[in-house]
Amino acid sequence: MTERIVLAYSGGLDTSVAIGWIGEATGAEVIAVAVDVGQGGESLETIRQRALGCGAVEAYVADASDEFANEYCVPTLKANALYQGHYPLVSAISRPVIVKHLVKAAREFGATTVAHGCTGKGNDQVRFEVGIQTLGPDLKCIAPVRDLALTRDKAIAFAEEKGLPIETTKKNPYSIDQNVWGRAVETGYLEDIWNAPTKDIYDYTATPEFPPAPDEVTISFEAGVPVAIDGVKVTPLQAIKELNRRAGAQGVGRIDVVEDRLVGIKSREIYEAPGAMALITAHKHLEDITIEREQARFKATVGQRWAELVYDGQWFSPLKRSLDAFIEDTQRYVSGDIRMVLHGGQAIVNGRRSETSLYDFDLATYDTGDTFDQSMARGFIELWGMSAKVASGRDIRVAGK
């Protein structure tokens, strides 16, 4: 029986050429696997037909938009996950769901190997292959660009020689990856980190310099999950899409950062994540009134570690699973409404309410009705500063000798 290889297929030039390139290099049959994670653009059927036209013996296509929103975006939101304080893990959280379908397709079609289109110096090769090793430890992995010398100029020449049904004459200077959680742009002109981004690289966001009128929105959460916008019930996917539209129109969610890649190099990245950043901002403000102080402090540490694990391709790791359990426990009372104004590139919270809030007006007020017993403060301060006071006395005593 001829060996079969499943290929993570985007429908673009590189992965379209990879179908035939892999076949010629290995003698194997190629099954193209396309997964819709809300990236927009062409229909899955169009992509399926292109894969078959480029030589795939089978084409597995999956609409995973709701799955991606529910099982990958929502946990990221609950963690308030921002890698290095900036990046909302746009590409990093899409790889595990793609891996899941790659392994599923490999089982369904009897493939022994999984292929992806990543280079040898990026993060995604790690995310794909570690995920595949975890879910399908018997499967082998290859990367045509990294392992089979498939460069872009060779891809263009191969496509023209074979008459493949794919556009080869226009070369986008940027590398772009997108899904419903956001959009990532790198390479080309952006590799000089002194260069400012040009307007043409943006798609999910309008320029914030000349915004429309301020847009006030109320986002409702239940146990950390967005469930309504302006009182209208929504699914997580609908919430992200609606805020992509509304926050994007105000230029919210543009991120320009030099980040530390897993392989040890620094990389300049431009991200657009209007819905993600608006939701994370709202969620964090709701946590501020519903999560106890020490729990909140520790959750910030957990969220940072969670983001690092996911960025580094460890979505299926035991530690990630344990951190998930902690984060999920913290979300028990994260229910209520957040009102925010979207305008000029900013999402500014101006109202909060929750039936499970820890904010006590009578304790917080300085006006009549204050129930806080101020006489407790003096003794508290004495005890709180005791260890520092004793250490300071020791320092003075020793220094005087």
Which entry of 4, 91, 124, 267 is annotated as an active-site residue? 124
What is the maximal distance between C-alpha atoms in the chain?
89
The pTM of this model reads 0.94
Catalytic-residue membership of 95: yes
Which entry of 63, 66, 175, 317 is annotated as an active-site residue? 175
Which entry of 14, 254, 268, 335 is annotated as an active-site residue? 14
8 Å CB contact between 190 and 197: yes
| Predicted local distance difference test score (pLDDT) of residue 145 | 85
Catalytic-residue membership of 192: no
8 Å CB contact between 224 and 78: yes
Question: Angle at which helices 236-249 and 274-290 pack, to 10 degrees?
Answer: 110
- In the chain, what are the domain boundaries? 4-171, 176-291+334-353, 367-399
CB-based burial label for 240 (10 Å; 0-12, 13-18, 19+):
buried
| Predicted local distance difference test score (pLDDT) of residue 299 | 98
| Predicted local distance difference test score (pLDDT) of residue 174 | 78
Q: Can you give the three-state secondary structure of 140-182, one letter per residue?
A: EEECHHHHCCCCHHHHHHHHHHHCCCCCCCCCCCCEEEEECCE
Binding residue positions for ATP: 8-16, 117
Catalytic-residue membership of 175: yes
| Predicted local distance difference test score (pLDDT) of residue 308 | 98
**Beta strands 29-36 and 4-8: pairing type?**
parallel
| Predicted local distance difference test score (pLDDT) of residue 9 | 95
| Predicted local distance difference test score (pLDDT) of residue 171 | 57
Which entry of 48, 50, 95, 246 is annotated as an active-site residue? 95
CB-based burial label for 233 (10 Å; 0-12, 13-18, 19+):
exposed
290: left (phi over 0), alpha (psi -120 to 50) or beta: alpha
Catalytic-residue membership of 267: no
pLDDT tens digits for range 312-344: 999 999 999 999 999 999 999 999 999 999 999
Collect the ranges in the chain with pLDDT lower than 50: none
What count of residues does the chain have? 401
Binding residue positions for L-aspartate: 119, 123-124
Kindly report the CATH class assigned to 176-291+334-353. alpha beta
Q: How far apart are CA 18 and CA 162, in angstroms?
A: 12
Distance of alpha carbon 35 from the chain centroid:
16
Return the CATH number of 4-171, one of 1.10.3720.10, 3.40.50.620, 3.90.600.10, 3.40.640.10: 3.40.50.620
- CA torsion sign, 293 to 294 to 298 to 299? negative
| Predicted local distance difference test score (pLDDT) of residue 172 | 61
